[in-house]
């Protein structure tokens, strides 16, 4: 698979709720592993990267990959 095709697939996945939830889960696990591996020495750098990546995920979809009504993000008004 070409890199551009892989990148396109990842971008499309981040536009769905399920894709954002998967990305957020992977991000949380990677940040936890980074903190554990660095034994706390690089925790501030890991946290900074985690926040930046999380903000990027949130910007891919107005609801931020969170389920409607969970109180953690914007919710579409009822119709």
Q: For tokens 């119709």, name the residue.
A: 79
Residue 27, pLDDT score: 93
Question: For 52, how many CA atoms within 13 A lie in the half-sphere containing its CB?
Answer: 6
Residue 40, pLDDT score: 80
- Cα–Cα distance for residue pair 60/64, rounded to 1 Å: 7
Domain map (residue ranges) of the chain: 19-61
pLDDT tens track of the chain, all 79 residues?
A: 688 998 888 888 888 889 899 999 999 999 999 988 888 888 899 999 999 999 988 888 765 445 555 555 554 555 5
Does the model's pTM come out above 0.75? no
Q: Decide: 24 and 34 in contact? Cβ < 8 Å.
A: no
- Cα–Cα distance for residue pair 36/41, rounded to 1 Å: 9
- Cα–Cα distance for residue pair 54/23, rounded to 1 Å: 9
């Amino acid at each position: 698979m070409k890199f551009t095709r892989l990148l396109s697939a990842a971008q499309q996945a981040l536009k769905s709720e399920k894709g954002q939830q998967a990305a957020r889960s992977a991000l949380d696990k990677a940040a936890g592993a980074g903190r554990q591996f660095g034994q706390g020495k690089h925790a501030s750098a890991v946290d900074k990267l985690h926040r930046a990546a999380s903000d990027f995920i949130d910007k891919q979809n107005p609801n931020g990959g969170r389920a409607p009504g969970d109180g953690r993000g914007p919710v579409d008004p009822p119709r």
